[in-house]
Each structure stands twice: as C-alpha cells, then as structure tokens.
Amino acid sequence: MSESQAVSKADSETVLVSEQLSQSYGSVSVLSEVSVTIDSGSLTAVVGPNGSGKTTLLKTLAGLLSPAEGAVQYLGPDAEREIGYLPQRPSFRPQFSTLETLEFYTALVDDDPEELLSRVGLRDAADRRVEALSGGMTRLLGLAQATVGNPPVVVLDEPGSGLDPTMRKRTFEVAHELANDGTAVICSSHDLALVEQWADHVIVLDGGSVVDTGSPAELCRAHGAESLWEVFDVTIEKPDDQVAVLGVDDE
C-alpha cells in the first residue's frame, strides 16, 4: 500500500451500518443479530459457506430487502444514487449494445457511459450486443451499471462467480480501484485467495451470524493461520468428517 493510499484509509468515514440485523423467510432464520460497519475507501468482503446468509445480508444492506428486526442506516454523503448493487446473475435487455445499455442508465444521472466502460475494461466492446457477451463480460457490464452515478456505496454479490481466473481477478481489481477512489465496496466471494489479496476487511458469516471480522492479516494472526483458508476452516462450524461447502447460492 502506498503512502497516499494509507492516508486515504486513515481518513475513511463510516457510510453504512447495520445494527442487530435479523432476517427470516417464513419460519427459517437467515440472519441473526448481524451488526456491521462499512467505511468509505475500503473493500469489505463477506465470506462463508452456502446457507450462511451472505446474499440476504448484501440485499438487506443494499435496501432491496427490509429487515425483520434491526436496522440498516446510510450515513454517507448526499448523492443522486446512494447505493449501487450487482446481483449474482445480472441480465440486460437484448438487442442493445453495451454502450447503449449504459446510456439508458446514465440518462437518469450525470455520468459518462464511455468512461464507465473504460473503468471495467469493456471499451473495446462498446458496440457488442449484450446477448453476445461472455459470462465474464456480462458481469463486468453489471459492475459498470452498479457504479452509474458514482454511488458512495457499491454492493457486489459474488462478482467473480463462475468466471475464469483472469476474469475473477479483474472483478476484484475493479472493486479495489473503486475503493481506492473513496467508494465503500462490499462484496461476497468464495474465492478466499482473491479476498486475502485485495480485501481491506473481512466479515466471516456462518449460520446467519458474524463469527469473526478483521483484516486478512488480523484474522490470520488471531488464529495462528498462514492463510484465510485456514481461518475459514477453524471458524466455520461443520459436522464431523465433513467440510464446509463453498458454492454459488446461499439462500
């Protein structure tokens, strides 16, 4: 981390908090008393096995779900769009190019669609129809759409899910660049190696509850672990003779 980046992290402010957040679907409890703090200029990763409540937490933080109990409070600056959101499986209207797609969204706010395409590395695909995009390119277009209007908070649900290693790395690079520009970025991911490399802060979720939190280095020190994989292994509860399953869908 450069000196300028270190100063930026030190000057970060809390922009989003959840307090005693609980969520359920019918009689099934998905989140239980989850309290998190999200700061500007930071990349926060939420990790956990399938069924741990990651997607539900992110949707609730993004304001797409109302909590059954507790509250989510946005504390960031006034903005035309306070929170941007990338779902696990973004989809776009066919027969439109990537540039035309972003032009539709940027018409609602003051933003430059060509600059957004450049930010995620899709400038050369500006004229390509969205139905002709690869899975990775579709995810990058979704990431560009999530940042339309420069929202102070961007929530990314499994941005690298199902992508090849190069594309997975690219999504984290873009998220990291957004954080360095002052955006508060929250993402869920099963790629613990990339989380360890790029995340400033990690929230370990299991059974709908936060079981540990801290920077990757802090978590490794606290558990005497050499990697985030080892931290995950010792913090996640699992039946005897079984391993915690890492997958795509957690609801």
Work out whether the CA dihedral 42, 200, 63, 209 comes out positive or negative.
negative
Amino acid 242: pLDDT: 47
d(CA 156, CA 204): 16
- Mean pLDDT, rounded, for 40-55: 94
Confidence of residue 238 (pLDDT cuts 50, 70, 90): low
d(CA 191, CA 124): 28
Q: φ, ψ for residue 210 (rounded to 5)?
A: -80, 120
Amino acid 239: pLDDT: 54
d(CA 205, CA 228): 14
Find which of 42-46, 162-166, 167-171, 242-246 is predicted with most confidence, using mean pLDDT: 42-46
Torsion of CA 130, 131, 133, 137, to 10 degrees: 60
- DSSP state letters, 178-194: HHHTT-EEEEE-S-HHH
Q: φ, ψ for residue 128 (rounded to 5)?
A: -80, 135
Amino acid 27: pLDDT: 83
CA 33 centroid distance within chain: 20
Give per-residue pLDDT as tens, 190-226.
999 999 999 999 999 999 999 999 999 999 999 999 9
Residues 1-77+185-251, CATH architecture: 3-Layer(aba) Sandwich (3.40)
Query: Is 48 in contact with 246 (CB distance < 8 Å)?
Result: no
Give per-residue pLDDT as tens, 3-46.
444 434 556 799 999 999 999 888 888 999 999 999 999 999 99
Q: Tell me which of 2-11, 147-156, 225-234 is least confident.
A: 2-11
Distances (CA, A) of 97 to 110, 141, 144, 188: 20, 11, 14, 28
Task: Supply angle C-alpha 179, 180, 183, rounded to 5.
Answer: 35
- Listed by start position, the domains of the chain span 1-77+185-251
Amino acid 11: pLDDT: 66
Q: Tell me which of 4-8, 70-74, 162-166, 240-244 is least confident.
A: 4-8
Q: Which distant-in-sequence residues (6+ apart) come within 8 Å of 43 by Cβ?
A: 175, 176, 178, 179, 185, 187, 198, 199, 200, 201
